[in-house]
Each structure stands twice: as C-alpha cells, then as structure tokens.
Amino acid sequence: MPDTTLSNSAIIAAYRAKTPASAEWAARARESFPSGITHDSRHLSPYALYVTRGQGGHKWDADGNEYIDYFGGHGALILGHNHPKVMEAMQAALADGTHFGASHPREVLWGEQIRRMVPCAERIRFTSSGTEATMMALRLARAYTGRDTVIRFRTHFHGWNDHMASGQAVHMDGTPTPGVVSGITAATVLVDPNDKAGVEQAFADHSVAGVILEPTGSSTGMVPIAPGFLAFLREQCDKHGSVLIFDEVVTGFRVSPGGAQQASGVTPDLGTFAKIIAGGLPGGAICGKEAILELLDFEKAASKGFEKIGHQGTYNANPVTAAAGLAALEIIEKEGICEQANAYGTALRAELNDVLRAEGVPWAVYGDYSTFHIFTNPKARADVSPDNFDPLKLGYEELKANAPGAVQKLRIAMILNGVDIMGWPGGNISAVHTDENRAKTVEAFAESIRMMKAEGDL
C-alpha cells in the first residue's frame, strides 16, 4: 500500500487542484485551531473541505464545487439542509428573540411532541448536546439506584464526557484517557458488544446502576447488535433493578419516528437524544421514566424528602432550537420521512455492493436503516465479498479498522467525483436524497474505485 500522503498521488494532486480555497482556509485555520479543525471527525489529510452552503441533500465548498452530502450534519439532517418548514419556524422564533432567560411556550410544544413519539418519554429534560444528555443519564441512573457501576460496550460512543472517553476507539481496557481521573473510569465496566456472558459476569461482579448502549450497535450499526441482545439487556436490568439506557443521539427519529426503541420493541428506562431532535441546531434531551426524571423535580424532592439532582445549561431548550426541533419532529411524525430514508439506504447499499462485485473488490457495504458502512477489509481477507458478508461474524476490532490509507483515498476520490462521505467510511442518508442522487453516488463510487486501482491502492 503506497504512503497515501505522498505528493505523487494523482488523487491527492487532483484534490488540491479542485479545492484551492479550502486549502487556503485550512492553512489559516491551523493558526487558530489544533489541527485546524473543531471536531475530530472533520480531520482529513492533507486538509478538510471548507463548506459554505447547503441545500437539500447537497452542499457547496469554498470553491463553489457541489457535493451530494452524506455527512448530513453528523446525522442531524434527516430532512436535508434548510427544509422550508424548519427554516420558517426557526426564522419566526429568531424574530421573537433568541433567549428570554425564561420558560416559553415553544419548549412545552416541543416536549409534548417528543412525548407523543418516543415510547420511554414519560418525562423530558432538555440539554444543549448529546454529550450532556449521556452525562445526565449516568448521573440519574446512579442517583436512582444508589449504585456506581455502569456497564458499557466497547466501541459504543456516548460523547466525549469523562465517564465514557475510554473504550470507544482507544483504551479498550477501560484505563483513563489523558486528563481523566482514574476513579471515574473505575466506575464503568467495559464489555464486548453482544457478549451476553460478559454482561452476566459484570452483573455478578458489581452492583450495577445501569447499562448504556447505542441500540443499533456502535456508530449506528457499524458493529451491529445481535438479534435478541436488547431484550436480553432489558431482562438483565429488570432482574437486577438497574437502569437500561439507550443512547439514541443518532438513532432517535431516524430509524423510526420513535427511534430504535420503537423499531426494536424494547423500551429502555432512559433515552438520550440530540441531532435530529433539535432540527439541525444545537440541542439534546434526556427522556425517560417519570420515577427517574423526578430526581430533577424541586417539588418531588421536597415532598418525598430526597436530594434533588442539580441541572443547569444556559442554552437548554432555547427558543430557536425548540422551534426547529418541533417543526422537524412534526414533519417526521407525519410525512413518512424515516421510511423514505430507510428505503434509499436499502437501495444504495445494494447498488454500492453491485459496484464492488463488478470491480472485483473484496470489500462490502452494509448497514441498516438510513446509514451505510463500507468495510474495507483491513486484514485483506481473500474471501470477503458482498455475497457472504456478515458483520456479526467479525469482531469489533476488524469492523472498526480500515485498510491502511483506504479511507483517505476513498473519501478524497469521492469528493473528486462530487460526493462527500463520512470517514468511517460511510454516511448518513436524508429523506430528500433523490433517485438521481443515488445513481450519481453509485457512479462516483465506481469511478473512485477505478481511480484507487489506477494508483495501486486496490
């Protein structure tokens, strides 16, 4: 495999030629930001695209190049960029003022809408991000049970808070990552995905406050959940009096209008949300059983005599986010959005696999719902093909790894062909992606594979 950062790559050279304005912004950004970026997953070598505009399923870079967008606002934009009803609601809220430092009607309407859609949502507390929602979920589970230990699953991502920084991509043994005190990670137990015996052992060894997981598998199904595993966790939590937490920051309002809990029929005690729930603006929520959420309630604490959990957040349920979130959720509830995006996902995965077959590349495209993952076969197994690929037969290490250099070249080749995919590699699909977008994406993938072959990458 050639060194992909070498300047003799025709793909990299073409990228530099196509995106000089991005190169210029990236150089300036490096003077202000570590690595020139503001979110780790936007890191790309030699530099990331600078995007200046989005519309529907498309976005445009600083040089005016157009792309079909599969970042989808890190999963937030199942309605695509600038959905007219969401924009209208947001602009009306903006005109009224961005912050009243007070309760306001839009947050009540937004909360009622969520309660109608999400099975576990007896009560809700808004946050400003998914990370804050998962932090609060652990705090609630621990306070509710009076226990410390939380079971987590390797590779599952729950934001960047101290309790869950290890075990997602690094420190798979659960030791603290730099800057995290060891006492915090000692109270989380890492188990391999789908490992029932490991879960039973963790319950046997510890007094468990709760279990948290991404309910379709880590990275929205990149390491999928085995059939029956959610129901097994539900039973274990019931048996031990522990709190089951679904982190639905990505799956919420995406896999179905009621999230993975509605799709799976397994209702957790708590659900954490962000992204789609906030209509494309910053925001999140913790939803769950009234008996747990009451730990945030002044009156219940006074009448029942327990110590209330404190919770602040300047921008929680700010009126503009509330307006955007409410508008987006109303559309998702009524307009078959999840079904449309899921159908596109099924078709796209099949067609991308047709490309791999036609080109004889031992990779596979897989996933569920409106997400796709490209398995780049890091161990160069000769027998990998779309026809026999079963991610449940592979360990998380292999599913999460990539053939050296493959992602960078593939992403940049796709950009050269007018498509922006995420760095797993894979992408998030919206309901506004069209059949024409899909045909162009498939052609871009085929051309990108051919470009990589020409450079000796495949």
- CA atoms of 5 and 394, how far apart (whole Å): 29
**Options 134, 216, 371, 441; binder of ligand PLP; rule CB under 6 A:** 134
Q: Which region among 46-54, 127-135, 297-305, 356-364 touches ligand PLP (by CB under 6 A)?
A: 127-135
* Mutual angle of helices 319-334 and 337-359, in 10-degree steps: 80
Cβ-proximal residue to ligand PLP, closest one: 130
Q: Does 368 contact ligand PLP by CB under 6 A?
A: no
**Options 57, 73, 80, 130; binder of ligand PLP; rule CB under 6 A:** 130
CA atoms within 13 Å, Cβ hemisphere of 3: 5
183-242 residues near ligand PLP, rule: CB under 6 A: 214
262-291 residues near ligand PLP, rule: CB under 6 A: 274, 284
Give whichever of 247 and 294 is closer to ligand PLP, judged by the CB atom: 247
Q: Which of 355, 335, 353, 356 is nearest to 345 (CA)?
A: 353
Q: Which region among 22-30, 244-252, 259-267, 312-320 touches ligand PLP (by CB under 6 A)?
A: 244-252
Within 105-228, residue ranges assigned H as helices are 105-117, 130-145, 182-186, 196-205, 218-221
Give whichever of 41 and 55 is closer to ligand PLP, judged by the CB atom: 41
How is residue 275 written in tokens?
A: 């992204």
Q: Does 129 contact ligand PLP by CB under 6 A?
A: yes
Size of the site for ligand PLP (CB under 6 A): 14
Q: Does 250 contact ligand PLP by CB under 6 A?
A: yes
- CA atoms of 382 and 373, how far apart (whole Å): 19
- What is the largest distance, in Å, between two alpha-carbon atoms of the chain? 72
Q: Which region among 63-71, 101-109, 116-124, 129-137 touches ligand PLP (by CB under 6 A)?
A: 129-137
Q: What angle do CA 388, 391, 395 make, to 5 degrees?
A: 125
How is residue 230 written in tokens?
A: 């959610």
Q: Does 126 contact ligand PLP by CB under 6 A?
A: no
Give whichever of 65 and 129 is closer to ligand PLP, judged by the CB atom: 129
Q: Does 42 contact ligand PLP by CB under 6 A?
A: no
Q: Which region among 49-57, 155-163, 299-307, 440-448 touches ligand PLP (by CB under 6 A)?
A: 155-163
Q: Does 74 contact ligand PLP by CB under 6 A?
A: yes
**Options 191, 249, 295, 355; binder of ligand PLP; rule CB under 6 A:** 249
Give whichever of 260 and 384 is closer to ligand PLP, judged by the CB atom: 260
- Sketch the per residue contact string, 156 through 185, with ligand PLP: x for CB under 6 A, - otherwise: -xxx--------------------------
Within 241-287, residue ranges assigned H as helices are 259-264
Give whichever of 321 and 417 is closer to ligand PLP, judged by the CB atom: 321
The CB-of-147 to ligand PLP minimum distance in angstroms stands at 22
Q: What type of residue sits at position 136?
A: M
List Cα–Cα distances, 331 to 80, 85, 277, 328, in angstroms: 12, 8, 12, 5
Query: Which regions of 387-429 does DSSP assign to beta strands (E)?
Result: 419-420, 426-428
Q: Give counts: helices (H), strands (E), the chain.
A: 17, 16
**Options 61, 69, 107, 247; binder of ligand PLP; rule CB under 6 A:** 247
Query: Which regions of 195-304 does DSSP assign to beta strands (E)?
Result: 208-213, 217, 223-224, 243-247, 270-274, 284-288
Which residue ranges make up the site for ligand PLP (CB under 6 A)? 74, 129-131, 134, 157-159, 214, 247, 249-250, 274, 284
